[in-house]
Amino acid sequence: MEHNYPIKRIIDDKGFFVDADYEEQIDEQLVKELYYHMLRIRTFDRKAINLQRQGRLGTYAPFEGQEAAQVGSALALNDNDWVFPTYRDHGATLTFGKSMATTFLYWNGRAEGCIAPADRQIFPPAVPIATQIPHAAGAAWAEKKRGTKNAAIAYFGDGATSEGDFHEGLNFASVFKVPVVFFNQNNGYAISVPIEKQMNSKTIAQKSVAYGMPGIRIDGNDCFAVYFETKKAFDNARSGNGPTLIEAVTWRKGAHTTADDPSKYRTEERAKDFVDPLLRLEFFMKNYGYYDDAWIQAINEKTTREVEAAVEEMEKFPPPNVEDVFDHVYAEMPAQLAKQKEAYLAHLGRK
């Protein structure tokens, strides 16, 4: 089976083209956009880990190593598309348009952290694994019913493929042929459980066969492969040809979350298979004349400033509002709940 799903690459580990077909489609703008966003989210990610260590952020789920997968896929979206991320996909949502400060707030236990700008349809990150997959199918179904060209993307990990919701979501999407892309980041582990213990299939892409759905396997650390293959899947979806399952093979460089210690369950053996996606793009830029020291310096400074400003915004954000505990449960508060709220505010000496 595995041979039916070779890993699609556009550039190799040293940043040289392996698929020359793409030479024409890759221009400076694209290269710089990919690099910029990857650098930007990495800066964010490292800062977040730092803040967590300093006690300025709650438990945090880092994505280092998965930047190409997240940025490449997010840049393939249209503005009106729907995004259903997990707790590890803030690299993708930051790229799609969620703000950094908002994202920090999420990791500080603030519901405000779930809210993307009004012109970006980004769902709150899925915490219970795989549950967002049917949501994405449903949102895409709505677009189809309305006859738009919008589509949806569901992000999920290798572990998520073991849940019933993965199966039911993909089945619905294929039966109703809805415009959705199932974007799997196979980062080798679900917390401590390696993919060989998660499934007996050699690839995740082949799971598409169960749904009569196209499935492809790509090098998730090759930002070009991610970008172009995701775009293709979206084109297909927008043309009414239904969903695609994409397996982006990548690697979680750090811990599952800041509360996790990967040395308990993995050696860094397999890490050697993965060249850092940013470094790889740098190789490419050097190989093909896109490398520009001054520009890199400039965006480095810019993103650092952006992250610092976001930290400040997060830390200056008004403290959480007790009323919010009660106010977003129903459109109209039931009497019982109103009484609970009133009593509690009275207890706090308010109202």
Ligand X SMILES: Cc1ncc(C[n+]2csc(CCOP(=O)(O)OP(=O)(O)O)c2C)c(N)n1
Q: Which residues bind ligand X (CB under 6 A)?
A: 88, 127-129, 156-160, 187, 189-191, 252, 256
Residue 65 within binding range of Mg ion, rule CB under 5 A? no
* Closest distance to Mg ion from the beta carbon of 190 (Å): 5
Shorter beta-carbon distance to Mg ion: residue 162 or 304 = 162
Handedness of CA 72, 263, 188, 17 (dihedral sign): positive
SS3 272: helix
* Residue 265 is among the residues annotated as catalytic for this protein: yes
Q: In the complex, what is the shortest distance from the CB of residue 132 to a second copy, in angstroms, rounded to a whole number?
A: 15
Give the nearer residue to a second copy in terms of CB position, either 59 or 241: 241
112 lies in the site for a second copy, by CB under 8 A: no
Our finding on whether 213 is near a second copy (CB under 8 A) is yes
The answer to whether 40 is a known catalytic residue is no
Using CB under 8 A as the binding rule, whether residue 211 contacts a second copy is answered as: yes
Does the protein bind Mg ion through residue 158 (CB under 5 A)?
A: yes
Q: Closest CB to a second copy among 176 and 326?
A: 176
Closest distance to other proteins from the beta carbon of 234 (Å): 17
What mask of x and - would describe binding to other proteins in positions 175 to 194, judged by CB under 8 A? Answer: xx-------------xxxx-
Report the phi/psi class of residue 205: left, alpha or beta, with left for phi > 0 and alpha for psi in -120 to 50.
Answer: alpha
**Can you read off the two tokens belonging to residue 157?**
């990990």
Query: Quick one: DSSP state of residue 16?
Result: -
The rounded distance, in Å, linking the Cα atoms of 105 and 144 is 34
The site for a second copy, by CB under 8 A, has a size of 26
Q: Point out which span in 92-100, 197-205, 310-318, 336-344 binds a second copy (CB under 8 A).
A: 197-205
Catalytic-residue membership of 256: yes
Q: Which residues contact 332 (CB under 8 A, 6 or more apart)?
A: none
Among a second copy, ligand X, Mg ion, none, what binds residue 160 when CB lies within 5 to 8 Å by partner kind?
A: ligand X
Contact 54, 313 (CB under 8 A): no
Q: Which of 90, 120, 252, 280 is catalytic?
A: 252
Among 265, 305, 328, 350, the one annotated catalytic: 265
Residue 214 site contact among ligand X, a second copy, Mg ion, none (CB < 5 to 8 Å, cut-off depends on kind): none
* Residue 220 interacts with other proteins (CB under 8 A): yes or no: no
Q: Do the Cβ atoms of 148 and 213 come closer than 8 Å?
A: no
What is d(CA 65, CA 299) in angstroms, rounded to the nearest whole number? 20
**Does 53 contact other proteins by CB under 8 A?**
no
Q: Do residues 256 and 189 touch, judged by C-beta distance below 8 A?
A: yes
Reading the block at residue 117, the tokens are 């700008």
Q: Which residues lie across from 181 on neighbouring strands?
A: 153, 244
Which residues within the stretch 258-287 sit at the binding site for other proteins (CB under 8 A)? Answer: 259-260, 264-265
| CB of 171 vs a second copy, minimal distance in Å | 5
Rounded distance, CA 236 to CA 238, Å?
6
Residue choice 212, 305, 308, 342 for contact with a second copy (CB under 8 A): 212
- List the structure tokens of 108: 């500080």
Task: Identify the residue whose tokens are 């950094």.
Answer: 100
Helix, strand, or coil here: 250?
Answer: coil
Interaction of residue 347 with other proteins, rule CB under 8 A: yes
If binding means CB under 8 A, how many residues of this protein chain bind other proteins?
A: 75
CA–CA gap between residue 312 and residue 310 (Å, rounded): 5
DSSP per-residue letters across 122-144: EPPPB-STTTHHHHHHHHHHHHH
- Interface residue list for Mg ion (CB under 5 A): 157-158, 187, 190
**Which residue numbers are catalytic?**
252, 256, 265
